[in-house]
């Protein structure tokens, strides 16, 4: 049994299938930790959810786009900001093609996503965006886990300081110290000119731009070997994504 983590999927079902196949992921035995944002962007959110539900050992973390989608599924009220940020594709996918899956996915998937996952045995933390507490995950408001972007910048700043020759113990940002390793999505690596995963201090950023036309990434958390989809914009040439 191996443990894998996957970045922001954003409705890219074709990319999800490629990642699972290329990594030789075993749906009956392996563990998959999803870093959130299954919804919004490409047109196949329901298909993504169905695929994830078929994985026996799935650990589903909620992203900010998943939270938006869940609120719509619960209330029937579509936030205009959500629609403009990729939610229109999710709305259309469910209301036009898969209205039969709306209740099921609300109850069995989106409503069961968690704010973070802490693998206590290996002291690894998994969150969609980040956290602020110097005591690690479990001490912040839900919105921080869903939306925070400072966390990744703190990791980058800490990595730059360490490259300057300072010791890890004295210069590792305090926010990062509680965990051996931390895995996040949310803030795409495309902003730094790459569609590969990025590592800064003990933080791994797995949002490699799958929602924007980059690639979707799955990683073995122990070996750090990773596999990627094709460019998602090429898998959905008729769509704009996010």
Say whether pLDDT at 150 is over 60. yes
Which residues touch 96 (CB under 8 Å, ≥6 apart)? none
What pTM was computed for the model? 0.96
Mean pLDDT score, 26-42 = 98
pLDDT, tens only, 215-234: 999 999 999 999 999 999 99
C-beta of residue 187 within 8 angstroms of C-beta of residue 129: yes
Mean pLDDT score, 190-205 = 97
Mean pLDDT score, 170-194 = 94
Domains and CATH numbers, the chain: 3-232 (3.60.21.10)
Q: Which range (60-64, 165-169, 191-195) has the least confidence? A: 165-169
Mean pLDDT score, 197-221 = 97
């Amino acid at each position: 049994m191996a443990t894998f983590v996957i970045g922001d999927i954003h409705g890219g079902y074709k990319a999800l299938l490629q990642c699972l196949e290329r990594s030789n992921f075993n749906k009956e035995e392996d563990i998959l930790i999803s870093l959130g944002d299954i919804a919004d962007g490409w047109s196949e959110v329901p298909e993504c959810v169905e695929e994830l539900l078929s994985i026996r050992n799935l650990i589903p973390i909620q992203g900010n786009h998943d939270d938006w989608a869940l609120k719509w599924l619960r209330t029937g009220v579509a936030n205009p900001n959500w629609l403009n940020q990729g939610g229109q594709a999710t709305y259309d996918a469910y209301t036009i093609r898969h209205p039969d899956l709306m209740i099921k996915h609300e109850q069995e998937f989106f409503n069961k996503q968690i704010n973070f996952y802490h693998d206590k045995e290996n002291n690894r933390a998994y969150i969609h965006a980040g956290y602020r507490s110097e005591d690690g995950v479990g001490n912040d408001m839900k919105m921080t886990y869903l939306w925070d972007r400072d966390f990744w910048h703190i990791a980058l700043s800490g990595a730059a300081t360490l490259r300057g020759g300072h010791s890890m113990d004295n210069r590792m940002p305090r926010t990062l110290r509680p965990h051996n390793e931390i895995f996040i999505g949310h803030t795409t690596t495309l902003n730094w000119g790459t569609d590969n995963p990025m590592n800064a201090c003990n933080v791994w950023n797995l949002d490699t731009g799958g929602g924007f036309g980059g690639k979707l990434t799955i990683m073995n958390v122990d070996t750090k070997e990773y596999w990627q989809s094709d460019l998602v914009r090429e898998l959905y040439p008729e769509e704009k994504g996010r």
